[in-house]
Amino acid sequence: MSRTGHLIRRLLATMVTIYVVVTLNFLLFRVLPGDAVSNLSRVPGGSPELSAALRRQFGLDQPLWEQYWIYLGRLLHGDLGVSFTTQEPVGDRLMVAFGNTLPLVAAGLVLALLLGLVTGTLAAWFRGGWVDRLSTSTAIAFYSVPTHFLGLLLILLLGNQLPTQGMHDEFLIDPTWAARTADLVRHMVLPVVTIALIVFGQYTLVVRSSMLETLGDDHVLTARALGAGPVRTLTKHVLPNAMLPITTLVALSLGGLIGGSILVETVFSWPGAGRAMYESVVQRDYPMLQGVFLVLTISVVTLNLLADLLSVRLDPRVAQ
């Protein structure tokens, strides 16, 4: 199959996936036990009239299929609706939440990638030795630790050195841009390190495995026979060829990380997408839930697509 054909096929598959997930998102939250109106009308003095008024306001008094068409229609116009609980446009809240999550996840991912590359490369180069054993067992150990447990452990160990809550010190007086940025970085350290430690293990293992495979290739053996040193061999002949599975893994794990930030954001009270998702589930805030999951879905599907296209770019044999 040609590259163009592959691209068209993947784009079509992506669109169908997004449509199916959009529909599932709509249905899934409505079959959950618990109900947004029950939550909101359960106030002192709450009455059946209040419940009815809220149902009307949220459009929940309409038949399900009609709610579905309204939802799809709004979605096509880029309208994600209004949050049941805060009465703010979902789009605005999502912008803030994802805007807070992305730097956290991106920094965590970069750090994890660096750690994974270094430890994976060392493990592969010194395969079978103590460096290999130390690298792989450390990677597996961190990969197995529950995220919230590691977060709390870091709070206990480093909480007297670094902030453990939120994005900023809210009591700063009119800070300069530099002071505000420095404060943000300080607040990011513990959650970013938590993400990086949890994630880097899988990179270590994939890098090690991929490197081992490449290290045995003829062209690497030839390079070494021609006198290439370890650094040149690794950087020029091994790493570029070993990057294919790593690239795919990074793209795939980024989408998962955004969705999986819920535990890190809960432990560190980080006001991001994960926390917004948690609050929305608890409060049965359907528009917010649909919005969060829609963005997550599109992120994952798009990143999958990108990974796929990148693979084709890096290795045209994939498209065959």
Residue numbers at the binding site for another protein (CB under 8 A): 32-35, 38-47, 49-50, 53, 57, 85-88, 152, 155-156, 159-161, 163-167, 169-175, 179, 182-183, 265-269, 271, 275, 279, 281-284
Q: Which is nearer to another protein, 259 or 271 (CB)?
A: 271
Q: By C-beta, is 175 or 316 nearer to another protein?
A: 175
* Biggest distance spanned by C-alpha atoms of the chain: 85
Distance CA 286, CA 97 (A): 16
Tokens of 100: 């807070």
Q: State in angstroms the smallest separation of the CB of 182 from another protein.
A: 7
> CB-wise, 34 or 240, nearer to another protein?
34
- What is the C-alpha to C-alpha distance for residues 70 and 101, in angstroms, rounded to an integer? 30
Is the Cβ of residue 70 or residue 156 nearer to another protein in the bound state?
A: 156
Token pair for residue 144?
Answer: 């197995």
CB of 43 vs another protein, minimal distance in Å: 4
Residue 89 pairs in a beta bridge with 82
Orientation of helix 90-125 relative to helix 286-314, angle to 10°? 40
* Interatomic CA distance for residues 255 and 41, integer angstroms: 36
Q: By C-beta, is 242 or 292 nearer to another protein?
A: 292
Least distance from another protein to the Cβ atom of residue 98, Å: 15
Angle 297-301-307 (CA atoms, 0-180°, nearest 5)? 145
The dihedral sign for the CA sequence 215, 217, 222, 223: negative
Q: How far is the CB of 257 from another protein (least distance, A)?
A: 19
Estimate to the nearest angstrom the gap between the alpha carbon of 239 and the chain centroid.
25
**Residue 45 vs 63, nearer CB to another protein:** 45
Copy the structure tokens of residue 53. 């008024």
Residue 21 Cβ, how far from another protein at the closest point, in Å? 23
Rounded least distance, CB 209 to another protein, Å: 36
